[in-house]
A and B are shown apart, each in its own frame.
Chain A
Amino acid sequence: MIEFVNVKKVFEDSGVVALENANFKIENGEFVFLVGSSGAGKTTITKLLMRETNVTEGEIYLNGNDITKIPDKEIPYLRRKMGVVFQDFRLLEDRTVYENVEFAMRVVGATKREIRKRVPEVLSEVGLNYKAKMLPRQLSGGEQQRVALARALVNRPLILIADEPTGNLNPKTAMEIMDIFEEINRMGTTIIMATHAKDIVDTMKKRVIEVSDGNIVRDEMGGVYHETV
């Protein structure tokens, strides 16, 4: 379970208040959309979760542990509990699909045997096992996002964080990707997705947390995209 308790984030260099008095809980296995205009504070929430930045005030609990207090050297181990997918895919261009996914396992010290078993398995889950030897530039945008998804999933994370994962995709491909996300969620992985994709949010009818000027202005089960403020 994830819990934000009175979280405030002020960026020291600019003095901008990115998040103010944020309080919410996300249960294990939930699918949550973070919506709001650009600069509202959605990405700040994902960055705080990954400890890419730390809170100014408040606590963030992950399964009962306050992650704002963990020492820097423990951050990599926190991140191993999470998978992350970005709008721009962030694949290694000089490595094949297989190597991109394999790399994520190698980084965390998986054995060759584990890698040989798990990588084809996860590529199959995202429907890309037949393109394992291709380079990212030989793939369509949707396929590249699937590779990024496979990489995020390969270490069986508890939480999958996605920042505008369909931002660079056409509506049809975006829906295909969302089907995969839904399938992953059905398997028990918690999904937190920051998005501007109104159609997707409205269609999927999941929990919606709306952020506006750093404040949580709406937290609605089975919500839609509309902006409150």
Chain B
Amino acid sequence: MTARLFELMLKAAGYTVVISVASIGIGLLVGILVCAAKLSPRPWLRWPAGVFVSFFRGVPLLVQLLLIYNLLPAVGIVVPSVVAALVGLSLCTAAYQAENLRGGFASVPRGLLEAADMAGLSPWQQFRRIRAPIALRLTVPALVNEAILILKASSLVSVVGVIELTRTAQNLAASTYEPLLFYSVAGGLYLAINWIVAGGGALAERGLRRGRLA
């Protein structure tokens, strides 16, 4: 493989990272809303949130991507394929992140909130100062895990024509008749990015260690 082709692969890897980071970010925001709706006492909020989570966790991402890619034009929305890919990835990860957040909130020991209650904190202050910070810390490992899953899952957006790492490897493998080489390099790049993400996650967890549940 020439240096030029390798540079092409590296660029594609960068594109994969951009798509993944954007999806994780949008997914986190949507996930927070979905989680809030799921924890809401109002059934008309809780119920659709439940269906949302169940659907996006129960249907293969590939099918979701194909659906969104074909559904948007069918209802008259014409967008580039990368937008359809972003919508699909973000909604999928939002469903998982909503569940992670819900788990984090459920794991905050009741006693800590009783202590806040005794100290006179209002329900909103309890949420903002005690419940949310502890729950977010508890979900950091799950968030890192989700980031790695989405990075790998982003390979599927190649199917709807986004020229990211997997699609680039596919194109080069087809034109050079060297599938072993290009898929191995792509795999190595995915692995390297994942290790960096996992390492960063471990550092973040270490940084938060002093404030872990005693």
Task: Please determine whether chains A and B interact with each other in the same assembly.
Answer: no
